[in-house]
């Protein structure tokens, strides 16, 4: 049974992450929101800190969660990389989401590597900064529609295609690229490849201008005969039509709770700020009084806080299950859907309840509302998460429920 009290061993790294969020991220958040595509040089000094935490079993931003720890002899379990990553990413996104996504060596591609790489590949790619390239111009959330191809030529794969919306694609050292090794085999042939950023033919077409997370660069790549060693294919190269592409999709079981954690973190920032505003205005938040007997702003605050708590607990559960090697596909989608929807609602309502102060740039409330929107979109939209959950609840395949 899951114990929802955070273990003592994680509190030290949580405190470190919160300190970085408060003392580094918050002070420069507005600066890099206004200076889109400018590299946050302050984060370069964090590289050694991140490496030290990773060597010690922790992850500051939370991108390298993984396979879960082995069970103890007494049948109990340890909280592993996924839980450590989650609680830390909540803290850093309390500071700033865009800057969290820009921390060196903590890209979402690292979770892909942790999810499906072999032990030998983990040894080789364990300390790279990897972004993840899935989306293409002709599709968004339907990952099975990947058109990028990977043809085996001797000891190398040759990749051709186009990838868009690659988070931290310009600053990373490697990109995890999804491609098909056999178009005739359908989704079962979709594999993920680790591609060094400086590989010939891997061309940066442009950087996107965005509503939020402006501190994080979002890249558009063209792959023109990009050659990578065949050992850079993550996991097994075999095309198993019965298994489908469950191997690469397992990536999402790790990354979706992390994205949910990002939503939980930025929403908590808005919630705390809103509470201070209401308290300063002379409003008392009374948890014992019924909502109809309280000021409308207080009743709305309590609703938002309870919604936040539900998302937080669901996200903890999904990460805990991943660490304990329990199938968490449904729970990962549930927490991603809940947290994404909660964060967009909560941060926007905080702007509204704060009035002109919330709408202006005098506070970060308006920025947090813009940043939160992407958390309901990337790693699978709200609608895709609901579809995944429905399939699991109804025990239907993707062909039976589209």
Same domain, 100 and 43: yes
Q: Is pLDDT at 75 greater than 70 in this prediction? A: no
Residue 281: which CATH number? 1.20.140.10
- Residue 8: pLDDT band by 50, 70, 90 thresholds? confident
Residue 45 and residue 118 share a domain: yes
The string of pLDDT tens digits covering residues 171-183 is: 999 999 999 999 9
Residues 346, 271: contact at Cβ < 8 Å?
A: yes
Q: Are residues 55 and 176 in the same domain?
A: no
Domain boundary among 102, 123, 144: 123
Q: What is the mean pLDDT of residues 157-162?
A: 98
Compute the distance between CA of residue 33 and CA of residue 276 in angstroms, rounded to an integer: 24
Where would I find the beta strands (DSSP E) of 100-173? 130-133, 149-153, 156-167
- CA torsion sign, 27 to 209 to 64 to 387? positive
161/192 same-domain check: yes
Q: What is the mean pLDDT of the chain?
A: 90
Residues 17, 20, 21, 25: is their CA dihedral positive or negative? negative
pLDDT value for 56 = 47
Backbone angles phi, psi at 33, to 5 degrees: -70, -40
Q: What percent of the chain is modeled with pLDDT above 70?
A: 89
Decide if 234 contacts 260 (C-beta within 8 A): no
Report the half-sphere exposure of 240 (CA within 13 A, side-chain side): 11
Residue 60 lies in a domain: yes
What is the number of domains present in the chain? 3
Query: What is the mean pLDDT of the segment spanning 80-87?
Result: 90
Residue 278 belongs to a domain: yes
- Whether residue 24 is found in the same domain as residue 95: yes
Mark whether 102 and 160 lie in a shared domain.
Answer: no
**Pick from 74, 107, 123: which residue ends a domain?**
123
pLDDT band at 272 (very low <50, low <70, confident <90, very high): very high
Closest by CA position to 270, among listed 214, 184, 348: 348
Measure the CA–CA gap between 392 and 4, rounded to whole angstroms.
Answer: 25
Residue 206's CATH number: 2.40.110.10
Per-residue confidence (pLDDT) for residue 398, from 0 to 100:
84
Q: Are strands 130-133 and 174-180 parallel, antiparallel or unpaired?
A: parallel
Residue with tokens 């984060």: 43
Of the candidate ranges 61-65, 147-151, 246-250, 293-297, the one whose mean pLDDT is the lowest: 61-65
Q: Is the pLDDT of residue 54 over 90?
A: no
pLDDT at residue 70 greater than cutoff 60: no
Q: Which residues are catalytic?
A: 379
Provide the domain limits for residue 70. 8-123
Taking CA atoms, 324 is separated from 60, 142, 396, in Å, by: 21, 28, 25
Confidence of residue 50 (pLDDT cuts 50, 70, 90): low
Of the given ranges (134-143, 151-160, 197-206, 275-284), which has the lowest mean pLDDT? 134-143
Q: Which long-range contacts (CB under 8 A, 24 or more apart) does 267-270 make?
A: 267/308, 267/311, 267/339, 267/342, 267/343, 267/346, 267/347, 267/372, 268/90, 268/94, 268/308, 269/93, 269/94, 269/95, 269/364, 269/368, 270/346, 270/347, 270/350, 270/365, 270/368, 270/369
Q: CB–CB of 176/192 below 8 Å?
A: yes
Instruction: Give me the mean pLDDT over the 94-117 stretch.
Output: 90
Chain centre to alpha carbon of residue 361: 26
Give the dihedral of Cα atoms 48, 54, 57, 59; nearest 10 deg.
100
Instruction: Kindly report, residue by residue over 301-353, the tens digit of the pLDDT.
Output: 999 999 999 999 999 999 999 998 899 999 999 999 999 999 999 999 999 99
């Amino acid at each position: 049974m899951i114990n929802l009290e955070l273990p003592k061993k994680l509190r030290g790294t949580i405190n470190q992450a919160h300190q970085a969020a408060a003392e580094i991220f918050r002070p420069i958040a507005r600066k890099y929101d206004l200076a889109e595509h400018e590299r946050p040089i302050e984060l370069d000094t964090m590289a050694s800190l991140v490496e030290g935490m990773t060597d010690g079993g922790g992850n500051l931003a939370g991108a390298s969660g993984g396979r879960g720890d082995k069970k103890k002899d007494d049948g109990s379990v340890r909280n592993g990389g996924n839980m450590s990553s989650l609680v830390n990413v909540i803290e850093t996104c309390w500071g700033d989401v865009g800057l969290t996504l820009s921390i060196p060596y903590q890209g979402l591609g690292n979770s892909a590597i942790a999810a499906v790489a072999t032990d030998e590949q983990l040894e080789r790619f364990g300390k790279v900064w990897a972004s993840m390239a899935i989306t293409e111009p002709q599709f968004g959330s339907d990952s099975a529609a990947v058109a990028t191809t990977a043809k085996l030529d001797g000891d190398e794969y040759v990749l051709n295609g186009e990838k868009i919306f690659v988070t931290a694609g310009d600053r990373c050292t490697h990109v995890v690229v999804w491609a098909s090794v056999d178009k005739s085999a359908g989704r079962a042939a979709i594999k993920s490849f680790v591609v060094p950023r400086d590989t010939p033919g891997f061309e940066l077409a442009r950087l996107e201008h965005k509503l939020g997370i402006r501190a994080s660069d979002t890249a558009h790549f063209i792959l023109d005969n990009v050659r990578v060693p065949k050992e850079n294919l993550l996991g097994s190269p075999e095309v198993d039509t019965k298994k489908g592409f469950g191997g690469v999709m397992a990536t999402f079981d790790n990354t979706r709770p992390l994205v949910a954690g990002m939503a939980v973190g930025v929403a908590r920032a808005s919630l705390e700020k809103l509470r201070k505003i209401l308290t300063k205005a002379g409003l008392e938040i009374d948890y014992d009084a019924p909502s109809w007997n309280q000021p409308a702003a207080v009743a709305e605050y309590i609703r938002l806080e309870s919604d936040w708590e539900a998302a937080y607990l669901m996200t903890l559960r999904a990460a805990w299950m991943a660490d304990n090697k329990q199938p968490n596909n449904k729970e990962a989608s549930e927490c991603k859907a809940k947290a994404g929807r909660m964060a967009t609602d909560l941060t926007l309502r905080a702007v509204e309840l704060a009035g002109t102060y919330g709408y202006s740039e005098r506070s970060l409330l308006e920025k947090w509302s813009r940043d939160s929107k992407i958390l309901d979109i990337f790693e699978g939209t709200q609608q895709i998460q609901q579809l995944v959950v429905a399939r699991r609840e109804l025990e239907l395949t993707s062909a039976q429920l589209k």
